[in-house]
Amino acid sequence: MPLHLIWAEDEAGGIGRDGDLPWRQRTDLQRFKALTMGHPVIMGRRTWESLPFPLPGRENLVLTRHPDWSDDGAVRTTIEHVRARSEAGETLFIIGGGEIYALLLSEATVVHRTVVHTTVNGADTHAPPLDSATWTLASTETIAAQDGDAHDQTFERWTRS
């Protein structure tokens, strides 16, 4: 199951606002870390710029159309390179943002979706919808807000039908 997408969305599909996450959900970040640790993470250049530092323990690969782009702790990549590694059997995690999820959803085998039980005011970035003809909900778990979470949340794992 090589190409995994992972995101957290609100009840209206919102994932971002003003270049950042619109919430603090510590339990979701812990889950994100546990799932992605040790695997390459692929992100759009705007998501890279939203990170305070490179994600430790993971190869940070950044998609940009600027051939001369570089930044400490990241490696520029291309869709073709991502595709080739995935086809070779490597497990890769696509970690955002909206443009990159939309670009790669059709090639994904698994989607890890967290639904954050709120509706964000002014969300300006959205996740693509999961079409029920293509995607099957393999597992779901709703948990009440823990320490460090602003909202209750549901962790879902979707697989290609």
Ligand X SMILES: NC(=O)c1ccc[n+]([C@@H]2O[C@H](COP(=O)([O-])OP(=O)(O)OC[C@H]3O[C@@H](n4cnc5c(N)ncnc54)[C@H](OP(=O)(O)O)[C@@H]3O)[C@@H](O)[C@H]2O)c1
61 near ligand X, judged by CB under 6 A: no
Cβ closest to ligand X, residue 4 vs residue 46: 46
- Give the residue, chosen from 59, 71, 99, 107, that forms a contact with ligand X under the rule CB under 6 A: 99
The answer to whether the CB of 136 falls within 8 A of the CB of 159 is yes
Query: Which of positions 28-47 make contact with ligand X (CB under 6 A)?
Result: 43-47
**Widest pairwise Cα distance in the chain:** 45
Helix (H) or strand (E) holding 63: strand 60-63
118 near ligand X, judged by CB under 6 A: no
Residue 30's SS3 state is helix
**CA triple 159-102-152, angle to 5 deg:** 60
Give least dist CB 115 to ligand X, A: 11
Give least dist CB 65 to ligand X, A: 3
